[in-house]
């Protein structure tokens, strides 16, 4: 299972490593500005993020070392472990800020492991049942069930933002199937009905206010619309070139709520302006496209499926987070990968990028 082949070193994907390292380092620099006052030593958030960065790097290297073909037989044990931890969270975890989603004193979020487990389990299913041969809706029963069980448990934890993100990650694979478009129209209609039922019976008042704030941020500027309004002020004050590193008033005067977690990109926009924001988004776009190149050039179906799943794990949170910051998506607590503060999320993201490195290195080995 373990071992280093000389060909792996020769074919190491330095481009992919460089993109990951650059984004992670920029995230640390951004976090320093968002959490450390001028003249103060490193904040606790920066110290913990550096520790998580080290752990995540070790996890990525370990994942990249193991031949990814072994992950097929580890997929279901990992999946059942994730389900068990989600159930355990519902039993013993305290309610924190309205949700019940953290174990070990807020140090570990099992839903992060669930994302990895879904990628492994759905990749295993479609390896044995190729998506190109999936033409009937009933053929999706098992992959839908694989995704639905952890999503349902996360919903039970009252963490609807993470549940939506997990659902979107799992749905990434459904773009590969060849089910007729008329069937998808029917599914969309059912989805609209489900959303209407969720709005009527499932959402708390504060969650409805967050969604309505997207349509009209001025309806409650001191409560549900406050974060989005302050984010837009930060983005606007950044202009084309930005106010300068650690010179943003919204950031340094702490007008911007959760600026080190959900609204980390607002700090980028204020301090580095449109050009800096565009540069960061270009790096993300390049990373995602490179992940698709890795999937396309994989020598086997399982490697391609894993790479597509990892791209989904990077794309969906980035898209939702930037949408939140710009005020075109509801504030649902989704961090920006490699940028936002959060130990579990950073370690998980780096471990997933280790999967991409794994698939990429072995393109020329077998």
Domain C-terminal end among 203, 222, 245: 203
Task: Please tell me the predicted confidence (pLDDT) of residue 6.
Answer: 66
3-state helix, strand, coil in the chain (%, to 5): 75, 0, 25
Q: Do 219 and 130 fall within a single domain?
A: no
Q: Do 55 and 88 fall within a single domain?
A: no
Cα torsion through 117, 123, 126, 130, rounded to 10? 170
pTM of the predicted protein model? 0.88
Task: Please tell me the predicted confidence (pLDDT) of residue 342.
Answer: 85
287: domain range?
Answer: 22-35+43-65+210-366
Among all chains, which residue has been given the structure tokens 């008042």?
Answer: 205
Could you tell me if residue 3 is inside a domain?
A: no
Q: Which residues of the chain have pLDDT under 50?
A: 1-3
Nearest C-alpha neighbor of 147 from the set 166, 128, 161: 166
Task: Please tell me the predicted confidence (pLDDT) of residue 19.
Answer: 95
Task: Please tell me the predicted confidence (pLDDT) of residue 364.
Answer: 66
Q: Do 237 and 352 fall within a single domain?
A: yes
Could you tell me if residue 302 is inside a domain?
A: yes
Q: Is 209 exposed, middle or buried (0-12, 13-18, 19+ CB in 10 A)?
A: middle
Three-state DSSP state, 263: coil
Question: Is the Cα torsion angle 202, 205, 211, 212 positive or negative in sign?
Answer: positive
Task: Please tell me the predicted confidence (pLDDT) of residue 312.
Answer: 95
Q: Do 52 and 135 fall within a single domain?
A: no
Record the tokens describing residue 240, joined without a space. Answer: 């084309």
Q: Do 108 and 28 fall within a single domain?
A: no
Q: Return the number of other C-beta atoms located less than 10 Å from residue 180's C-beta.
A: 11
Could you tell me if residue 123 is inside a domain?
A: yes
Nearest C-alpha neighbor of 264 from the set 20, 102, 35: 35
Q: Do 166 and 240 fall within a single domain?
A: no
Could you tell me if residue 10 is inside a domain?
A: no
Domain C-terminal end among 148, 169, 203: 203
Q: Do 344 and 243 fall within a single domain?
A: yes
Q: Do 216 and 198 fall within a single domain?
A: no
Three-state DSSP state, 99: strand
Domain C-terminal end among 203, 238, 265: 203
136-168 pLDDT tens trace:
777 788 888 999 999 999 988 888 888 889 999
Nearest C-alpha neighbor of 318 from the set 190, 169, 137, 147: 169
Q: Do 180 and 223 fall within a single domain?
A: no
Could you tell me if residue 2 is inside a domain?
A: no
Task: Please tell me the predicted confidence (pLDDT) of residue 213.
Answer: 64
Q: How many domains does the chain have?
A: 2
Q: Do 222 and 360 fall within a single domain?
A: yes
Could you tell me if residue 252 is inside a domain?
A: yes
Task: Please tell me the predicted confidence (pLDDT) of residue 1.
Answer: 47
Could you tell me if residue 327 is inside a domain?
A: yes
256-276 pLDDT tens trace:
777 888 899 999 999 999 999
Contact criterion met (CB below 8 Å) for 90 and 159: no
Task: Please tell me the predicted confidence (pLDDT) of residue 5.
Answer: 61
Q: Do 186 and 220 fall within a single domain?
A: no
Q: Do 157 and 282 fall within a single domain?
A: no
- 43 torsion bin: left (phi>0), alpha (psi -120 to 50), beta (else): beta
Task: Please tell me the predicted confidence (pLDDT) of residue 20.
Answer: 95
């Amino acid at each position: 299972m373990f071992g280093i082949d000389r060909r792996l070193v020769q074919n190491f994907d330095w481009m992919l490593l460089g993109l990951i390292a650059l984004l992670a380092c920029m995230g640390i620099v951004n976090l320093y500005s968002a959490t450390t006052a001028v003249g103060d030593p490193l904040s606790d958030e920066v110290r913990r993020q550096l520790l998580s960065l080290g752990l995540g790097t070790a996890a990525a290297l370990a994942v990249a070392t193991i031949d990814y073909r072994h992950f097929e037989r580890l997929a279901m044990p990992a999946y059942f472990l994730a389900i068990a931890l989600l159930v355990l969270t519902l039993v013993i975890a305290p309610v924190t800020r309205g949700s019940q989603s953290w174990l070990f004193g807020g140090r570990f979020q099992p839903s992060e492991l669930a994302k990895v487990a879904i990628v492994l389990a759905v990749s295993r299913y479609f390896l044995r049942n190729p998506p190109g041969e999936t033409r009937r809706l009933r053929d999706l029963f098992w992959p839908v069930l694989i995704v639905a069980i952890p999503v349902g448990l996360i919903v039970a934890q009252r963490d609807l933002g993470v549940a939506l993100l997990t659902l979107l990650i799992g749905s990434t694979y459904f773009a590969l199937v060849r089910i007729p478009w008329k069937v998808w129209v029917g599914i969309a209609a059912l989805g609209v009905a489900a959303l209407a039922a969720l709005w009527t019976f499932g959402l708390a008042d504060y969650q409805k206010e967050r969604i309505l704030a997207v349509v009209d941020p001025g309806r409650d500027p001191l409560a549900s619309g406050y974060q989005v309004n302050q984010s837009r002020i930060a983005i606007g004050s950044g202009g084309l070139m930005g106010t300068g590193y650690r010179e943003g008033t919204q950031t340094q005067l702490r007008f911007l709520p959760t600026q080190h977690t959900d609204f980390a990109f607002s700090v980028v926009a204020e301090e580095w302006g449109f050009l800096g924001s565009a540069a960061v988004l270009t790096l993300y776009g390049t990373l995602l496209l490179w992940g698709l190149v890795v999937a396309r050039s994989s020598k086997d179906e399982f490697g391609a499926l894993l790479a597509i799943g990892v791209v989904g794990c990077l794309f969906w949170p980035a898209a939702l987070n930037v949408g939140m910051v710009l005020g075109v998506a509801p504030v649902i607590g989704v961090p920006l990968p490699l940028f936002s503060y959060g130990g579990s999320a950073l370690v998980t993201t780096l471990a997933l990028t280790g999967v991409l490195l794994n698939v990429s290195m072995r393109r020329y080995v077998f």
